[in-house]
Amino acid sequence: MKAISFTQHALPIDNPQALIDISLPRPTPGPRDLLVEVRAVSVNPVDTKVRAGTFTKEPKILGWDATGIVREVGAEVTLFQPGDEVFYAGSIARTGSYSEFHLVDERIVGHKPHSLSAADAAALPLTSITAWELLFDRLGVVEGTGEGKCLLITGAAGGVGSMLVQLARKLTRLTVIGTASRQETADWVRQLGAHHVIDHSQPLLAQLQALGVPEIDYVASLTHTEQHLVSIAVLKAKAGKEQALKEELLTLIEPTRAEPGNLDYVLFEQRDEQGTFYMREAFRDQAALDAHFSMPYFQRFAATADDLLQEPLQLIFLEQVSA
Ligand SMILES: NC(=O)c1ccc[n+]([C@@H]2O[C@H](COP(=O)([O-])OP(=O)(O)OC[C@H]3O[C@@H](n4cnc5c(N)ncnc54)[C@H](OP(=O)(O)O)[C@@H]3O)[C@@H](O)[C@H]2O)c1
């Protein structure tokens, strides 16, 4: 049978050796295996990641998602028979699906929906399973619930996001807010059913506030998570300098928000401890943060910091660990 493989990791995809055609014997099913004649496969980020991160001398076959027709079944197979049309996401522990024939354990296979073409059905399994597990297993949302609560999906137009928006709209009562940065992706996310679409290339908080969303209950951060990570600067004023520090910090807000690499910049004052301020900050990347530190208004603030601050500036970097 024919298959598509790689041997040298991390070659640019336009290099003729990045993916090569090979011929292999047709595999024989194990006890619970189906031998599937593959009709369509899809490409997911995992294919790129495995190709980039695998050192192999033997040709390795990529591919997880597939649709096809069952041609042979293992001795203990009970759920399918030859001729069945199937779709599945396969297993990372086994040989991939970019081949004419493919073995898959019957316990992770479904009947291909009649309403979908082979190609459309092949695009579904891995993204849908990921979105399903994220929403119901990891975030713990219960089907039919979520009234009055909000789900924010960053990267909502991508493979996983597209499925997540639809599952959340069809199966829960959550308010769904998706992010997309281009007109066509924003339109797509709206078409899939999101209640609101905001732009992940702009500060998210201001857009959420403009929507009148005071609080997000669930966040599915699907891509570029590091850009949306938040740090908090804690600034404690010297006695008598509370108002002066507040005024200085307020002068930073507008110019910082106008920096192209800034995603979020909001000042809070601790309610029961006047003069203790928290600046919640998010920058696109380290270069954007470095650029911020070199801005004249930040340098001017840094020059006054000793005079205003009770203790040196403390930066806390936050990583989201719960939903
Ligand atoms: N695909 C799968 O089946 C699968 C399974 C398990 C895990 N995963 C993981 O889940 C993640 C997402 O996979 P995917 O297949 O959904 O990816 P994808 O389809 O490649 O996602 C592309 C989307 O990411 C958005 N995006 C670009 N820059 C962004 C930013 N700065 N902030 C937020 N969104 C941004 C783009 O939106 P705009 O064009 O509007 O900017 C685009 O629609 C990956 O880490 C992947 O490894 C995927």
Average pLDDT over residues 263-269: 90
Cα of 154 vs centre of ligand 1, distance in Å, is 8
Atom of ligand 1 nearest to the CA of 156: 43
Q: Which residue(s) pair with 114 in the sheet? A: none
Number of domains in the chain: 3
Residues 76 and 154 grouped into a single domain = no
> Does residue 323 fall inside a structural domain?
no
Residues 8 and 57 grouped into a single domain = yes
Residues 12 and 114 grouped into a single domain = yes
The per-residue pLDDT for range 29-70, each reduced to its tens digit, is 999 999 999 999 999 988 888 887 776 778 889 999 999 999
Which of 193, 208, 223 is the last residue in one of the domains?
223
- Name which residue sits closest to atom 23 of ligand 1, judged by CA: 158
> Does residue 188 fall inside a structural domain?
yes
CATH number of residue 147's parent domain: 3.40.50.720
Residues 211 and 248 grouped into a single domain = no
The per-residue pLDDT for range 165-195, each reduced to its tens digit, is 999 999 999 999 999 999 999 999 999 999 9
d(CA 85, CA 1): 20
CATH number of residue 107's parent domain: 3.90.180.10
CATH number of residue 251's parent domain: 3.30.70.100
- Consecutive H or E run containing 233: strand 230-236
Long-range contacts of 135-143 (CB under 8 A, 24+ apart): 135/164, 135/167, 135/168, 135/172, 135/220, 138/323, 139/218, 139/220, 139/323, 140/323, 141/168, 141/172, 141/174, 141/218, 143/171, 143/172
Residues 46 and 99 grouped into a single domain = yes
Residues 20 and 107 grouped into a single domain = yes
Residue 82: CB atoms within 10 A of its CB come to 13
Residues 234 and 178 grouped into a single domain = no
Q: What is the pLDDT of residue 1?
A: 96
Which of 161, 193, 223 is the last residue in one of the domains?
223
The per-residue pLDDT for range 198-219, each reduced to its tens digit, is 999 887 878 888 998 867 889 9
Residue 59: CB atoms within 10 A of its CB come to 14
For 20-44, give the secondary structure using H, E and C.
Answer: EEEECCCCCCCCCEEEEEEEEECCC
Mean residue pLDDT across the chain: 90
Q: Which residue(s) pair with 3 in the sheet? A: 22, 99
- Asked if pLDDT for residue 150 goes beyond 80, the answer is yes
Which of 97, 119, 141 is the last residue in one of the domains?
119
- Asked if pLDDT for residue 321 goes beyond 70, the answer is no
Residues 68 and 154 grouped into a single domain = no
**How is residue 5 written in tokens?**
């493989």
**How is residue 254 written in tokens?**
């507008």
Residues 198 and 98 grouped into a single domain = no
- Name which residue sits closest to atom 26 of ligand 1, judged by CA: 155
> Does residue 173 fall inside a structural domain?
yes
Residues 312 and 294 grouped into a single domain = yes
Q: Which domain holds residue 37?
A: 2-119
pLDDT over 90 percentage in the chain:
65
Residues 235 and 209 grouped into a single domain = no
d(CA 19, CA 5): 6
Cα of 50 vs centre of ligand 1, distance in Å, is 16
Cα of 205 vs centre of ligand 1, distance in Å, is 20
The per-residue pLDDT for range 83-106, each reduced to its tens digit, is 999 999 999 889 999 999 999 999
Indicate the top mutation candidate among 43, 130, 160, 197 to test ligand 1's pocket, ranked by most ligand atoms within 8 A of CB: 160
> Does residue 16 fall inside a structural domain?
yes
> Does residue 278 fall inside a structural domain?
yes
Which residues have CB under 8 Å from 15's CB, separation 6+? none
Residues 174 and 244 grouped into a single domain = no
pLDDT over 70 percentage in the chain:
93
Cα of 70 vs centre of ligand 1, distance in Å, is 32
Pocket of ligand 1 (CB under 6 A): 44-46, 126-127, 130, 154-155, 157-161, 179-182, 185, 200, 222-224, 227
